[in-house]
Amino acid sequence: MSERTPATFPSNGASGFPTRQVSSESVGNHPDRYKWIALSNTTLGILMVTINQSILLISLPDIFRGIKLQPLAPGNTSYFLWIFMGFLLVTAVLVVSLGRVGDMYGRVRMYNLGFAVFTVFSILLSVTFMTGSGGALWIIIMRVGQGLGGACLFANSSAILTDAFPSNERGKAMGINGVAVVTGSFIGLILGGILAPVEWRLVFLVSVPFGLFGTVWAYLKLKDTGVRQHSTIDSWGNATFAVGLVALLVGIVYGLLPYGGHTMGWTSPFVLSTVFGGVAMLAVFVAIERKAKNPMFHLELFRVRAYAAGVLASFLAAVGRGGVQFMLIIWLQGIWLPQHGYDFARTPLWAGIALVPLTVGFLLSGPISGILADRFGARWIATIGLSGTAVSFVLLELLPTNFDYVEFAAILFFFSVFAGMFFTPNQTAVMNSLPPNQRGAGAGMNASFMNSASVLSIGIFFTIVTLGLASSLPGHLEQGLLAQGVPAAEAVRFSHLPPIGTLFAAFLGYSPIKSELPHHVLASLGPARAAYLTGRSFFPKLIASSFQDGLRLAFDFGAGLAVLAAVASWLRGANYIHEEETLLDEVATGMLEVGEVAAAGVGAGYLPEETT
């Protein structure tokens, strides 16, 4: 291809973006070998992060025992929330900014930095030396550091893949990358159940070999093949977005904690001020971005229907399903497994094993759906996936608390099949709709919506189930304890413990009766009755019916959000690929030659016959 002055052109008339340059240097080549290097490395990065997330989810009981902290003691519940939620909050806040920085200074550079940062903080987590509240604070701070590394990885991995693969193969690449997300979740659950009882620090140390290898591999092999957007940092945009989103998500986290005489904290002045203050600050962010010369995020992207509909569908789907894994683990660890003969100490491992069907379906449907999306577009496949998700929620709602596992596993399998049908095509469509010089920021905004939705979903699911517990659980607890000879004063006191504490106890897989009823009260009941009260059947049976009431409301909520997400997915319209639309415009006007279109990595099968 001969050297010539780069041509400039508008994107497609619909988005209002600044013009971009296309030259022999920026268009580049996508050798077959390199695209698989990019896919394997980004898949390893996502696998490492998702293993870390789910391994923590299943290992929390052993972590708290390891640092000698009672998570349900007054004042300690916030530690429980922040150890898990802090990572999600940091990634939600930073992915847009770090994606934008990747657009400006190189996506591979930021991605490689993410690998290194994540690894360093994994090492620091594994050498936690403090106990009690000091140990919890150390873990929370180090998890925030991991979140910074995770944000670099999330913000740039999809953009690197989109740069490396031609548009007619991106669905396949996103499908394989999506398999890493689900596989990591499954591996983490099993590893957590195996490693945490042996030594809780191993749940953090296990990420280190992956991180060291991935950091070196990314540094040596990955190349920046995308278009860079030379610009300046939008300081005010970054600051208002970060402050607003942090305030909003912090308010959601603290809304889960009891306040005064209330079951939860949604009436707390602190919660109300952070939530509404966060929303107001995000409104200021939007106003700043509309006028900024070099905005952190081009709001005009939302004028592209394929992008806006895809992001909205992702957000609604994530709100609807983000808290599901928590609810299923509570159901298994706190109720079903103990009633089927499993000691509380063994329930984390077996809960992970019981959730295997939630992975298998995605492993099958994710890559296949991506390949089909490359050929037929995302609209039909993603919308069917979301519709099937809504049906799966209804089927879960119809199960009794003490279900037959075969039925439970079958529903989880189909739930994950439909999830794969949505996730991969939608992710492909979102990335295809972005201009090459905005892929980092655009992917970051999508990830920010999804991670924020996960925090919001956890808050909503816990709120719904807790309110369901609050309506009937106190009476059940009081009557059950009185029937076993517990003095009336102690039975009444125990029954008025915060329902969220009961829910967290079920999530952590143990009965709070042993820790909350005084030792002398249990001793006065006799060994046999005390053993029954603190054993694996009494507490699960007491909370089962109250938990089921709240769980059904939560599943109704999930089904409703899946339906709304399906509508948003359908509204995305026909298949739209940004650079193909703009490059074809240039071919039609003589500004670009067909050979240069091929060099840009555009699928040759997309060009009409008369053009080729």
DSSP 486-505: --HHHHHHHHTS-HHHHHHH
Percent pLDDT > 70 in the chain is 86
pLDDT at 321 over 60: yes
Task: Tell me the average pLDDT across 82-111.
Answer: 82
Angle ∠(28,377,324) on CA atoms, nearest 5? 105
Beta bridge partners of 9: 20
Q: How far apart are CA 53 and CA 82, in angstroms?
A: 13
- Which range has the top average pLDDT, 274-283, 419-428, 433-442, 593-602? 274-283
Task: Tell me the average pLDDT across 223-228.
Answer: 69
In this prediction, residue 509 has a pLDDT band, given cuts at 50, 70 and 90, of: low
Task: Tell me the average pLDDT across 98-106.
Answer: 80
pLDDT at 142 over 80: yes
497-511, 513-527, 536-550: the lowest-pLDDT one: 497-511
pLDDT at 287 over 50: yes
pLDDT score of 592:
40
Task: Tell me the average pLDDT across 82-93.
Answer: 83
- CA torsion, points 58, 59, 60, 66, in degrees to nearest 10? 170
pLDDT score of 141:
93
pLDDT, tens only, 551-602: 888 899 999 999 999 999 998 877 777 754 454 444 444 434 444 444 444 4
Q: What are phi and psi of 436, to 5 degrees?
A: -55, -30
Q: How far apart are CA 178 and CA 172, in angstroms?
A: 10
DSSP 571: T
pLDDT at 21 over 70: no
DSSP 71: T
In this prediction, residue 227 has a pLDDT band, given cuts at 50, 70 and 90, of: low
426, two tokens: 């939608």
In this prediction, residue 611 has a pLDDT band, given cuts at 50, 70 and 90, of: very low
In this prediction, residue 248 has a pLDDT band, given cuts at 50, 70 and 90, of: confident
pLDDT score of 424:
84
pLDDT score of 545:
79
pLDDT score of 22:
35
Task: Tell me the average pLDDT across 146-167.
Answer: 85
CA Rg value for the chain:
25
Task: Tell me the average pLDDT across 8-32.
Answer: 40
Angle ∠(98,99,101) on CA atoms, nearest 5? 60
Angle ∠(400,405,410) on CA atoms, nearest 5? 100
Task: Tell me the average pLDDT across 182-188.
Answer: 78
Task: Tell me the average pLDDT across 256-285.
Answer: 87
Task: Tell me the average pLDDT across 153-166.
Answer: 83
pLDDT at 344 over 80: no
pLDDT score of 120:
95
Q: Minimal CA–CA distance to 48: which of 287, 236, 266, 208?
A: 208
Hey, how many other C-beta atoms are within 10 angstroms of the C-beta on 532?
14
pLDDT at 146 over 80: yes
Q: What's this model's pTM, rounded to 2 decimal places? A: 0.76
pLDDT at 23 over 50: no
pLDDT at 505 over 90: no
453, two tokens: 């939705």
Give the burial class of 344: count Cβ atoms within 10 A of its Cβ; 0-12 exposed, 13-18 middle, 19 or more buried. Answer: buried
pLDDT score of 226:
62
CB 206 within 8 A of CB 55: yes
pLDDT, tens only, 349-405: 788 888 888 888 888 888 888 888 888 888 899 999 999 999 999 999 999 988 999
Q: At the topology level of CATH, where does 28-223 sit?
A: Growth Hormone; Chain: A; (1.20.1250)
Q: How far apart are CA 76 and CA 440, in angstroms?
A: 38
- Mean pLDDT of all residues belonging to the chain: 79
Residue with the bigger pLDDT between 492 and 471: it is 492
- Which range has the top average pLDDT, 98-107, 194-203, 382-391? 382-391
In this prediction, residue 194 has a pLDDT band, given cuts at 50, 70 and 90, of: confident
Residue with the bigger pLDDT between 24 and 457: it is 457
8-22, 209-223, 263-277: the lowest-pLDDT one: 8-22
Number of H helices, E strands in the chain: 26, 2
Q: Please give the distance of CA 527 from its chain centroid, rounded to a whole number.
A: 45
